[in-house]
Amino acid sequence: MVVPVILYGSSVLRKHSAEVIEEDNILKIKEFLFDTIKTNEGIGLAAPQIGLLKRVFVIDTNPVVEQDVTIEKFEGIFINPSIIDSDSDDIIYREGCLSIPDIYEEIYRPEKILVRYHDISLVTHEEELDGIKARIFQHEFDHLNGILFTDKISLIRRKLLTSKLNRIRKLSQSQKTEHYADII
Percent of the chain beyond pLDDT 90? 85
Cβ distance 55 to 30 under 8 Å? Answer: no
Predicted pLDDT at 135: 96
Q: If you average pLDDT over residues 66-94, what whole number do you get?
A: 92
Residue 120 to residue 110: CA distance in whole angstroms: 26
CATH classification for the domain delimited by 11-183, as one of 3.40.50.720, 2.102.10.10, 3.40.50.10420, 3.90.45.10:
3.90.45.10
What pLDDT score does 178 carry? 58
Are the C-beta atoms of residues 146 and 14 closer than 8 Å to each other? Answer: yes
Domains of the chain by residue range: 11-183
- Asked if 127 is an active-site residue, the reply is no
- Cα distances (Å, whole numbers) of residue 113 to 89, 98, 136, 142, 148: 10, 23, 11, 14, 19
In whole angstroms, what separates CA 29 from the centre of its chain?
A: 14
pLDDT at 153 over 80: yes
Q: What is the pLDDT of residue 182?
A: 53
0.85 surpassed by pTM? yes
* Banded model confidence at residue 75, pLDDT cuts 50, 70, 90: very high
Considering 72, 95, 126, 140, which one is annotated as catalytic?
Answer: 140
